[in-house]
Amino acid sequence: MNEIGVVIRGESCSFDASMSVPLLNLAEHNRPYQDRMREAFDRFLASGQYIGGDQVTLFEKEVASYLGVSECVAVSSGTDALLLALMALDVGPGDEVICPSFTFFATAGVVHRLGAKPVFAEILEGSFNMDPEDIEHRITPRTKGIIPVHLFGQMANIGRIQAIADKHGLFVVEDAAQAIGARHNGKHAGSFGAFGAFSFYPTKNLSGLGDSGLVSTNDPKLAAKARILRVHGMDPVYYHSHVGGNFRFDPIQGALLRIKLPDLDASIGLRQERAACYVSRLGSHPAVALSCEDAAGKRLVLPETSPGNAHTFNQFTIRVRGEGARDRLVAQLKAAGIGHGIYYPLGLHQQECFCCHTGGSVSLPITEAACREVLSIPIVPEIKLEQIDEVCDRIIGFLDGGSAA
Ligand SMILES: *Cc1c(COP(=O)(O)O)cnc(C)c1O
């Protein structure tokens, strides 16, 4: 009955509309835009321009101005944004690229696809983002660059990472797929590195109606090369200076995303408001720690915001500590109809496809502990503050030892 289907990461994940607090509700999210989206689609259909054109270039200009960068190149997905960035930076066989293991697969998958080797660095316990000290330990003569991921919507320590990269002559590509709108000391994610890579996959903070992505840069030469690589390295038509791919961005996505972009900061504000509710309700419980630093003896740790960061809460990710504790809480949330996600259950260094590649001997204990403890709970702007309260009631019931009947 009344099932709303959402495809998440290739799994067809459907939830009952009667679920008390869904993790996300994309139809509800797009409802305020539906009239303008229908008009945009009608104009698009009538235009006859189904590849390229104004909706692509206007979207690129508007995102560039939002991010405060000189240029953006819109592409087919966040994965392709990362791939294109690495291609423009000439990553290839023999190269090593340092990235986290605690991230979505695409971050390292693109490195491998270019014949280079992803070298996995450890994360910091508090922010889930890459540990700059550990990056420095993993630099070899073959290291070509670093891909910091701004995980869950807040930036990695970009100042330290960029300084390490500069010292060793490495590039930085920011994986900002989960972090559009995130800032460090007021400056946007994606405006620091040689490239920033963004995704407009439907679960991201700026969400399209399908797949799309974008790279940002302040380097006109890299932007020009990315534009050529986006269409098979072709410039002019049928003359190929490089081997690129088809990474084109659909103009219909541009038309639809342009309608939502002006509301992005307001919608991030609603996520921050929901995060503050969780912190005020859960943070006062004696079994809850506000940071990993004072987590001794606590059973639940709330997400930390690193100094100088504006967190955009693409996910609100708590840690549930203790043997089997996360699974028990998950079972209770499920029974109560509360959506949740585990991002990520396994580090990339533990994935079957990378085990051999890395010699199978890599050990990243902080990453592995995060994989056992993390739990993401509902944070999207569409859920009401009363629903956040309901999630808190269930979690507090769990902490107080009952089944929160
Ligand atoms: C979503 C995501 C990507 C890939 O984006 P797609 O648009 O799904 O290809 C890359 N890196 C991270 C960290 C992501 O969360």
Cα of 8 from ligand 1 centre, angstroms: 12
Residues sharing a CB contact under 8 Å with residue 52, sequence separation 6 or more, in sequence order: 248, 251
Q: What is the pLDDT of residue 18?
A: 65
What atom of ligand 1 comes closest to residue 80's alpha carbon? 9
Q: What is the pLDDT of residues 149-181, one digit of tens each?
A: 999 999 999 999 999 999 999 999 999 999 999
CA–CA dist 186, 308 (Å, integer): 8
From residue 240, alpha-carbon distances to 24, 90, 158, 244, 266 in Å are 43, 16, 36, 9, 43
Torsion sign across C-alpha atoms 268, 271, 273, 276: negative
CA–CA dist 394, 338 (Å, integer): 9
pLDDT band at residue 362, thresholds of 50, 70 and 90? confident
Torsion sign across C-alpha atoms 290, 295, 300, 306: positive
What atom of ligand 1 comes closest to residue 151's alpha carbon? 13
Place of tokens 């569409």: 382
Cα of 360 from ligand 1 centre, angstroms: 25
pLDDT band at residue 403, thresholds of 50, 70 and 90? very low
Pocket residues for ligand 1 (CB within 6 Å)? 77-79, 103-104, 106-107, 149, 175, 177-178, 199, 201, 211, 213
Rounded to two decimals, the pTM is 0.95
From residue 285, alpha-carbon distances to 134, 194, 389, 403 in Å are 34, 44, 14, 17
Q: How far apart are the first and last CA of the chain?
A: 25
Cα of 290 from ligand 1 centre, angstroms: 28
Instruction: Give bridge partners of residue 21 from the DSSP assignment.
Output: 338
From residue 26, alpha-carbon distances to 23, 30, 33, 251, 330 in Å are 10, 6, 12, 21, 22
Q: What is the pLDDT of residue 82?
A: 98
Q: What is the pLDDT of residue 405?
A: 40
Q: Return the best residue to mutate from 201, 313, 376 for the ligand 1 pocket (most ligand atoms within 8 A of CB).
A: 201
Residues belonging to the chain: 405
Whether the Cβ atoms of residue 204 and residue 196 lie closer than 8 Å to each other: no
The closest residue, in CA terms, to atom 7 on ligand 1 is: 78
Q: What is the pLDDT of residues 34-47, one digit of tens each?
A: 999 999 999 999 99
Q: What is the pLDDT of residue 333?
A: 96
Q: What is the pLDDT of residues 99-124, one digit of tens each?
A: 999 999 999 999 999 999 999 999 99
What atom of ligand 1 comes closest to residue 213's alpha carbon? 7
Cα of 146 from ligand 1 centre, angstroms: 17
Residue 64 CB: number of other CB atoms within 10 A? Answer: 21
What atom of ligand 1 comes closest to residue 82's alpha carbon? 10
Q: Are strands 195-199 and 187-188 parallel, antiparallel or unpaired?
A: unpaired
What 3 state SS string does the chain have? CCEEEEEECCEEEEEECCCCECCCCHHHHHHHHHHHHHHHHHHHHHHCCCCCCHHHHHHHHHHHHHHCCCEEEEECCHHHHHHHHHHHCCCCCCCEEEEECCCCCHHHHHHHHCCCEEEEECECCCCCCECHHHHHHCCCCCEEEECCECHHHCCCCHHHHHHHHHHHCCEEEEECCCCCCCEECCEECCCCCCEEEEECCCCCCCCCCCCCEEEEECCHHHHHHHHHHHECCECCCCCECCCCCECCCCHHHHHHHHHHHHHHHHHHHHHHHHHHHHHHHHCCCCCEECCHHHCCCCCEECCCCCCCEECCCCCEEEEECCCCHHHHHHHHHHHCCECCECCCCCCHHHCHHHHCCCCCCCCCHHHHHHHHHEEEECCCCCCCHHHHHHHHHHHHHHHCCCCCC
Q: What is the pLDDT of residues 4-32, one digit of tens each?
A: 444 454 444 444 556 899 999 999 999 99
Q: Return the best residue to mutate from 8, 102, 107 for the ligand 1 pocket (most ligand atoms within 8 A of CB).
A: 107
Residue type, 362: V
What atom of ligand 1 comes closest to residue 106's alpha carbon? 10
The closest residue, in CA terms, to atom 1 on ligand 1 is: 177
Whether the Cβ atoms of residue 210 and residue 253 lie closer than 8 Å to each other: yes
Q: Return the best residue to mutate from 149, 175, 211, 348 for the ligand 1 pocket (most ligand atoms within 8 A of CB).
A: 175
The closest residue, in CA terms, to atom 2 on ligand 1 is: 177
Average pLDDT over residues 290-314: 96
Average pLDDT over residues 127-140: 98
pLDDT band at residue 360, thresholds of 50, 70 and 90? low
What atom of ligand 1 comes closest to residue 150's alpha carbon? 13
Q: What is the pLDDT of residue 286?
A: 96
Query: What percent of the chain lies above the pLDDT cut of 90?
Result: 91
pLDDT band at residue 401, thresholds of 50, 70 and 90? confident
Q: What is the pLDDT of residue 4?
A: 41
pLDDT at 226 over 70: yes
pLDDT at 95 over 80: yes
Whether the Cβ atoms of residue 217 and residue 81 lie closer than 8 Å to each other: no
Q: Mean pLDDT across the chain, nearest whole number?
A: 93
Q: For residue 192, what are its two tokens?
A: 């620091």
Cα of 9 from ligand 1 centre, angstroms: 10
Average pLDDT over residues 132-158: 98
Cα of 198 from ligand 1 centre, angstroms: 8
Closest of 343, 278, 340 to residue 304, by C-alpha? 278
Average pLDDT over residues 321-332: 96
Q: Which residue has the higher pLDDT, 398 or 404?
A: 398
Q: What is the pLDDT of residues 234-244, one digit of tens each?
A: 999 999 999 99
Query: What percent of the chain lies above the pLDDT cut of 70?
Result: 93
Cα of 226 from ligand 1 centre, angstroms: 18
Cα of 47 from ligand 1 centre, angstroms: 31
Q: What is the pLDDT of residue 272?
A: 98
Cα of 210 from ligand 1 centre, angstroms: 13
The closest residue, in CA terms, to atom 6 on ligand 1 is: 78
